[in-house]
Every structure is written in structure tokens, then in C-alpha cells.
Structure 1
Amino acid sequence: MSFLRTLLAFSLLFQGQGGHSQSSQSLKQEVDKVLYLDSKVDFERSPGISIALFIGDSTYTFHYGRADRAAATAPTDTTLYELGEVTQLFTAVLIHRLAGQGLLELEGVVEKYLSVPDSSLAHLSVRQCLRHRSGLPRLPEGFGERIVDPDNPYGNYSTQTFLTQLTAPVLHSGEPATYRFSNLNYALLGALAAQRQGQTYDRLLRDQVLDPLGLSWTHLQEDSAFLRFYAAGYDKSGKQTARWQLEAFEPALGLRSNLLDLIRFCRLFL
């Protein structure tokens, strides 16, 4: 999966007043220093890197390495990366938009909007999931045992399978849980939103977030129209791998995007 071996970075560095007088070349020298000296980026592990810097109203982009080693192509502003857990920012925006429209309540319990077999989820609130305070584990219990294809570990994990096998710690109503990062939180939120609205998560995200914000490059399902823009992914041995199919975990891990859309997305919140 490319987000494992191709680093996507977008930074808010150099926002001081003095930054406005810096040239693109001097900024690149600063970025070079961070990459090569301070961070000592390993281009064997992260073959391609794309960076955006915001300075006032100006945006600068820099690219390093290769988007595809075999083709020896360099990344550009349009290179599409698998965002991995950055996807959760977009799912959070979706949930807040639905709440703003009165379609769900952040303090509402999960089972109010989603049919789940495990009664221990009854006390989990939407807000707890948003903040990773649900107490859910990072991955479902026994997840590794159910992997059919190691190169596509989520490929056979449908939303129905996910909801059927999901279990949660019993939390007393109103009792705050400590922070515990879990992809399950956002898989659950995506399923909740889709079931609540009677739409697929893909369609709902497109209608509520991506299209209204003008994020035309950002998408979930692999699209033939974008094939030439995808960065290649590599495993730990350096072997090129296929792009993962995320199924139930699309709301937590599944988006693909590029600097053009991520810059636009970030600017909306600055």
C-alpha cells in the first residue's frame, strides 16, 4: 500500500512574517535540510515525498524521489497517494456536517443510528468514537486470523462482517474513556453515517464533503481515469504491491488524494 512506503507530507512551517520574503529556492534549501539532515529520510523506505508549505496566502510545493521506481517518474502536484489514517479527518468532517444538519447528535449513542448485535456498544457515543475515546481496540479481535491475502489484508472484511464481529468494552453511560487510537472508531462512524442516511459511505462522502468542497481528485474506489496519477506502493522488501481494497475500513483508511486537493482542504481550516 503506497501510504506505507510513500510519504505524503503537508506542512504549516515558515508562517512567520519573515517568510514572505523567502524565495522558492531558499525554501527548498530549508526543506532539503529538514529531509536530509534533520529527519534523515530513508528513500528506500519512502521512495516518494510530496510537501506543501503555506506562507500567508502563498503555497509552495516540493517533490522528492520517485512516484514509481520502475518508470522512474517523479511525483508532482497531481500524484495520488493512499492517505491511510488521514482519511479519518474527512470522515470527521462528514459526521460534523450531518450533526449540523440535525441528522444525528454527537452525544447520541451509536446504537441509536446503527443496528449492531453487540449490546456492549449501547453506551458508546458518536463523540467518543470521533475522539478515539471509545475504548475500542485498534483492529478487531482475531483480525489477523481472517486475512486471506496478506497483500490485501482488508479485502474480505465487509461492513456486515465487521459489524457482526465487532465487540466493545462495556462503558458506563457518561463515563469518559482514556484516549486509545483505533481504526475501528472511524470504520464504525462510516457505517453509522451510511446506514443512517441509506447511502453508501462513498456516495455520502462525495455528496456531503468532497463535491461541496471542490475536492475533485479525492476518491475511495480505484478509478481508471486516475490510473496514470497513482503513486506505486511497496512492501518492506521493496517489492511493488497492489493498492489495498479497504471494504469496511474505507472510512478509516481508504481515501486517495493529492497535494492539490489536500492544500485546498487544509486552507479551508486555516
Structure 2
Amino acid sequence: MSKLAAAVLGTTLVLAACKPTGSSPSSDIPAAMNQAAATLLKSKLLHSTSIAVVYRGKEFILHRGELEAGKANTPNDTTLYEIGSISKTFAGLLLAQAVLDGQAALDDPIQKYLAASYHNLQSDGEPIRLRHLITHTSNMPGMLPLQVNTVLEDFTAHGTPAKLNAAYANYGQQQFWQDLHSVSIKGPLGKDYAYSSAGTELIAHTLEKIYGKPYEVLLAQFVAREAGMHETQMGVTAKDAHRLAPGYHSDNPVISTPMPRLPWGASGNLKSTMPDMAKYLRLQLGTNPAVVESHKPLVRFKDDFSIGYFWNIGQNRQLGTHYVHHGGVPRAQSYVFIVPKYQLGVFIITNQSGAMTADAMENALTHIFDTAQAMEGVQ
């Protein structure tokens, strides 16, 4: 899978560094959010954004632009967005809860939770364990079926969404189990970062085996109970279809189709509203035991880059230790940042997905980070 595809359907390996904006920071968060939106919408091809911020217990939500250019349809609090691979942080949270419940251990071999024998899920006699899957160090392929990885090598091609739809049109869990037999694991486990959505799908299956319920049900119950989130879901009903944000792939002016359903959906199929994502920010900034567990660094790749339960953990002078994940589907990209130093949580999304979208969001977010730093009086 290309670096771009990994960034879009996964996460950026280089955590967003706060780039200097060349202007003085705003004096308050809403003004900074307005600056962030204005900066983002100057980018070519981008014409709408929504931003949610939780700062020291206060919540702010902003919507700007048009979902469809020229139609004056600004997104709002009822808009359902495809949040892409940020979905993985939810799977990590549920696994953290399973560990706290004593129902799973990070060193459990994944084979413990599989109905059939998969002797191929090992390297040099070492089995793939849950900790390898949640830290992307299992050397599993990026996606199953394997041909999807080839499709994603040319992510920006206009035909990519249609090819993804075709690949997953009749691809369910049974086909996933068949293809899993063909996976070849090469290299040491637990060492090298190799982003894998297929590995995330195995975590969802593991949770189903542990709790005896479909992953989708487990997730809905957890976020409703722990965060009051009732608008975060895998699928979209016919009644709610009009709420799903339209989106654009690459430089194609034609509205793209939604991301196809994956076997479990844990790696990238969640949809949510901005009020629900604000609740998620609050949850991540709090003291929920599963959240605390999910933020533990499990593998350190560099002095300033570790990974926890699917969370990328960054370290820099401005933000201190922070937790970040990028999300992307062929028609939307997003970022979530959790910054305990400032009790700051930020979620930003735009309904376009192209080669420069992630960089544009990172640049826009500097307004918010600089403002928080100035308000905290941190030099």
C-alpha cells in the first residue's frame, strides 16, 4: 500500500508537527476555530469543514462552507460523517475494557480466538498476539482481500472508489476467513510498524468471541453507556440516508460513493455527528479506566512516537504527550487530537479526500494549538 493510501485509509506515521503560522494566536478558542476553518477552506478542492473542540470542560462546535459547492448546504449538528480509521480507536477502547475485565490479555495469541487453525499467523515460531495487532506490529497485510492493497497503490485515481466497491460487494466474514489462510507473515513481530486494517478486523472478531455479541452492538452499548453517544453507528438507515455527508474523492468533481462495508467495520466504517464526536473528546480527556488503559504506550518507535491501543502517541514541546489518529475514506478525511496538557480535544473533518487533504488539516489546526498554548501561558 502506498504512503498516501496508508495515510488516507489509515493514519499518518509522522505525527502532525505544529508548524508556525506566522501570525499571532487568537485570544479565544472560537476565534481560533474560525481561523482554522478559513485556512482550511482556502485549500484547493476543499469547500466545507466541521470542527469540534473541548477545552478545559467547555465544548465548541463549528460548521463552515458548503457540502456541495454552490448549494449553500452548510453541514450541521445532524450531519453524519464517515470518520474512517478513527474507528480503530474505538476498537482499541473496547479491547482495553476487555483487558480490564480480565477477559483478554495483550499477550494472548490471536489463534486463541479463532475457530479454525491458522498456522500461518506466526513468524519464526512466535504467534501473532493481541498486542501486535493493536500496535500495528503484526506484519499483517494492510487490507483483505489482498488485491485491495494493489488498488490503493494508486489511491488518487478516479476509478479507485469503484474498484473498492467491487472488491467488497460480496465480501463478508466468510471470505475474510478464507483469505486469512493465504496471509504470509514476514519479519519479527512487535518491532516494525506496518499499518493493518485487516488486523483491526481481527480485534473486532476477538471482542465478539469474548462477549458473545456482534461488534456493532458492543460498540453502540459501550459509547452510549460511557459517553452518552447515540449517533455513532456503522451503517446508515434509509431514514437517515439524507444526513450522510456527500463527499469528493481526489480532484473528481462528481460526488463519490460511501466507503464500502468491511467484514466487521471496526477498521473504518463508523459514522458520527459532531456533537457525538465532542462527547468522544470528553470521554478521551476523562478518567474512564478503559481510556486510561488505551492510552498506555505499548511500543516505542522513536523518542517522540509510540503507539498504544491503536492510538499514535506523540511528544513535542508545544503539546507535550498527545494522542492522535487520522481518518480517511475516499470521500472524507479527519483528525482527532487528545492533548491532556491543556485538557484539549480536537476533531476536524472535511468532505474531500485527496493527496494534500491531511496536510491542509494539520496546517489549519495550528491556529487552535497556538491559541491553547497562549491561553495557558506556556512558552
TM-score of the superposition, structure 2-length normalised?
A: 0.58
| Paired position in structure 2 for 1:124 | 128
Q: Rate the CA distance shift 1:150–1:47 in 2: closer, same or farther, 3 A.
A: farther
Q: Which amino acid aligns with 1:35?
A: L
Q: Partners of 2:150 and 2:164 in 1: how far apart?
A: 14
Q: Which amino acid aligns with 1:131?
A: T
Runs of 5+ in structure 1 lacking a partner?
5-10, 14-18
| Paired position in structure 2 for 1:138 | 142
SS in 2 for 1:77: coil
| Paired position in structure 1 for 2:288 | none
Equivalent pair of 1:35/1:41 in contact (CA under 8 Å): yes
Match of 1:219 among 233, 236, 240: 233
Q: Rate the CA distance shift 1:148–1:115 in 2: closer, same or farther, 3 A.
A: farther
Equivalent pair of 2:205/2:264 in contact (CA under 8 Å): no
Offset at residue 23 of structure 1 (A) = 7.0
Q: Partners of 1:168 and 1:193 in 2: how far apart?
A: 24
| Paired position in structure 1 for 2:28 | 22
| Paired position in structure 2 for 1:150 | 163
Q: Which amino acid aligns with 1:137?
A: P
SS in 2 for 1:269: helix
Q: Partners of 2:235 and 2:37 in 1: how far apart?
A: 34
Equivalent pair of 1:148/1:156 in contact (CA under 8 Å): no
Q: 1:49 and 2:49 equivalent?
A: yes
Equivalent pair of 1:47/1:65 in contact (CA under 8 Å): yes
Q: Partners of 2:84 and 2:109 in 1: how far apart?
A: 26
Q: What does the per-residue CA deviation read over 1:196-229, in whole Å, with 9 as the maximum and x for residues that have no partner?
A: 3332221122223344421101000112342232
Considering fraction of residues, name the structure with more strand.
2
Q: Which amino acid aligns with 1:136?
A: M
Q: Partners of 1:208 and 1:59 in 2: how far apart?
A: 22
The alignment's C-alpha RMSD in Å is 3.1
Offset at residue 28 of structure 1 (A) = 4.4
Please give the residue correspondences for 1:139-178 in structure 2 after superposition, counting only pairs within 5 Å: 139-140=143-144, 141-143=146-148, 150=163, 152=165, 153-166=167-180, 167-169=183-185, 175-178=189-192
Q: Partners of 1:249 and 1:79 in 2: how far apart?
A: 23
Offset at residue 27 of structure 1 (A) = 2.9
Q: Partners of 1:96 and 1:184 in 2: how far apart?
A: 19
Q: How many residues align?
A: 248
Offset at residue 73 of structure 1 (A) = 0.8
Offset at residue 117 of structure 1 (A) = 4.3
| Paired position in structure 2 for 1:247 | 262
SS in 2 for 1:251: coil
Equivalent pair of 2:143/2:149 in contact (CA under 8 Å): no
Q: Partners of 1:30 and 1:58 in 2: how far apart?
A: 19
Q: Rate the CA distance shift 1:58–1:111 in 2: closer, same or farther, 3 A.
A: same
Please give the residue correspondences for 1:69-148 in structure 2 after superposition, counting only pairs within 5 Å: 69=69, 71-122=71-122, 123-140=127-144, 141-143=146-148
Offset at residue 21 of structure 1 (A) = 5.7
Q: Give the percent of matched residue pairs that are identical in Structure 1 and Structure 2.
A: 22
Equivalent pair of 1:154/1:244 in contact (CA under 8 Å): no
SS in 1 for 2:259: coil
Runs of 5+ in structure 2 lacking a partner?
1-7, 9-15, 19-24, 152-159, 286-379
| Paired position in structure 1 for 2:63 | 63
SS in 2 for 1:31: helix
| Paired position in structure 2 for 1:231 | 245
Q: 1:207 and 2:221 equivalent?
A: yes
Q: Partners of 1:148 and 1:63 in 2: how far apart?
A: 26
Q: Rate the CA distance shift 1:151–1:232 in 2: closer, same or farther, 3 A.
A: farther
SS in 2 for 1:139: coil
Q: Which moved more, 1:145-154 or 1:200-209?
A: 145-154
Q: Partners of 1:242 and 1:56 in 2: how far apart?
A: 38
Q: Which amino acid aligns with 1:150?
A: K
Equivalent pair of 2:142/2:149 in contact (CA under 8 Å): no
Q: Partners of 1:28 and 1:149 in 2: how far apart?
A: 35
Offset at residue 69 of structure 1 (A) = 4.4
